[in-house]
Amino acid sequence: MKTRVVGITLASVLACGLCAFGQASLQAFPAGTTTMVFHIVTEELTEPQLLELHVIGRADGKYTVRMVMEATGTADQMSAFGFVFGAAGLMFGGGQDVSLAALQTLMDQRRRLQEGQEYALPSGGAFTDVSLVTIAGVQCVGGSIVDPRNPDSRTTIAFSLSHPVYTVPRVRLERLRDGRWETVFSMELVEYVFVGG
């Protein structure tokens, strides 16, 4: 039970941390409603969690942000679900620290990242396997964060290039187990819809 609670709590912290660490400023969203739906998968739950974000740009220059999170599991698995909105700004997942400085640097420089290149990160490690990908109709640049100090873990992440997305369109945390990479957490954009105001 403890492992499941910790896993769900870490997934929740990561999801909320990524939302707090928004990729696009609200001013980037046009007037109308932008709906972003993410699937969140953890190794502790058999069913994906659902995160739905709505950014509503109003004619008076104000914005409304609505977040709905849904998970299904046993009572033990759901015992930590109430902490979702109390999550701290630290992002943690699968026992691996995800450096906010590294993420911020990559996010700020995402339009300069070149496919096939490797980039050193300020916290150590590198951003490798850089490629252009399309996720739910959104053009992105993605790659893997690897750190020689933690060779049994890696983080794959993608940043939006073509559309404002409130958080990153993809993040996947993996662990090397018995010679194979296994996903311990993933959050991916599966639907992106804009309805003009």
**Tens digit of each residue's pLDDT (9 = 90 or more) over 68-99:** 888 777 777 666 554 343 232 234 343 445 56
Length of the chain: 197
Which residues form the domain of 8? 2-196
The answer to whether residue 20 scores a pLDDT higher than 60 is: no
What is the per-residue pLDDT for 120?
A: 86
If one counts the domains in the chain, the total is 1
Render pLDDT for 25-76 as a digit per residue (tens, 0 to 9).
888 899 999 999 999 888 777 778 888 999 999 999 999 999 888 877 777 7
156 and 144 Cβ atoms separated by less than 8 Å: yes
Average pLDDT of the chain to the nearest whole number: 78
Distance CA(143)–CA(174), nearest Å, equals: 13
More confident residue, 46 or 17: 46
